[in-house]
A and B are shown apart, each in its own frame.
Chain A
């Protein structure tokens, strides 16, 4: 089965630093998502991306966050100035249609010190 690939698997950063989390969605998919999961808590929606623009975002996704699909294959999540509370597992997902199975990557564990 095709896979969504996320790199790195672990990222440690200092508070206030910028981080970029990278994802390679499945090649013919059109819809892209970022979710996060703080340890022991539920999977939270951050943002969805379709047709080269943000289609929906949550209240968590403030001005410190941005997404990009720079080259037609990668899908990145940037956090400009990380806070301690940004520490979480970040999952990328993609789907081929609007109401379709989401394919999730294995996640990037972000630790902000």
Chain B
């Protein structure tokens, strides 16, 4: 069975600073990886996904993530954050042998003025 670990429950960062949100996964088969964002009182929205091909994936709102198979990681980065990026961020994994997506415990990104 696959699993996802998000190592940081909260990440405070100042506006315009870079940020990295960490995600590690565990799976015995090939994985598909996703990052979702959840703003207060809303559902989850897809930021980006890795299915295959280039290990550097670019998403919406200036976010990108790099798939690292040897480190079983899929960390999310943004070079310069805005106040509006304050939200909960979830890493998720699925595989071709399952119909479910497994979500991590989430990282609360708080951008400070």
* Chain A residues close to B by CB (< 8 Å): 4, 31, 33, 35, 41-45, 48, 50, 55-56, 58, 91, 93, 98-99, 101-102, 104-107
When the two chains form their complex, are residues A55 and B99 in contact, meaning their CB atoms are under 8 A apart? Answer: yes
A-B contact pairs, 5 of them (CB 8 A): A42-B105, A45-B103, A48-B100, A101-B49, A102-B101
Q: In the complex where A42-B103, A56-B100 touch, is A101 in contact with B90 (Cβ < 8 A)? A: no
When the two chains form their complex, are residues B104 and A102 in contact, meaning their CB atoms are under 8 A apart? Answer: no
When the two chains form their complex, are residues B99 and A99 in contact, meaning their CB atoms are under 8 A apart? Answer: no
Chain B residues, Cβ within 8 Å of A107? 43
When the two chains form their complex, are residues B103 and A99 in contact, meaning their CB atoms are under 8 A apart? Answer: no
Interface size class of B (residues with CB under 8 A): 20 to 34
When the two chains form their complex, are residues B105 and A101 in contact, meaning their CB atoms are under 8 A apart? Answer: no
When the two chains form their complex, are residues A91 and B44 in contact, meaning their CB atoms are under 8 A apart? Answer: yes
Contact with A along B37-63 (1 / 0, CB 8 A): 000011111100101000000000000
Interface of A, secondary structure class, is strand
When the two chains form their complex, are residues B46 and A101 in contact, meaning their CB atoms are under 8 A apart? Answer: yes
Contact of B99 among A4, A41, A91, A98 (CB under 8 A): A98
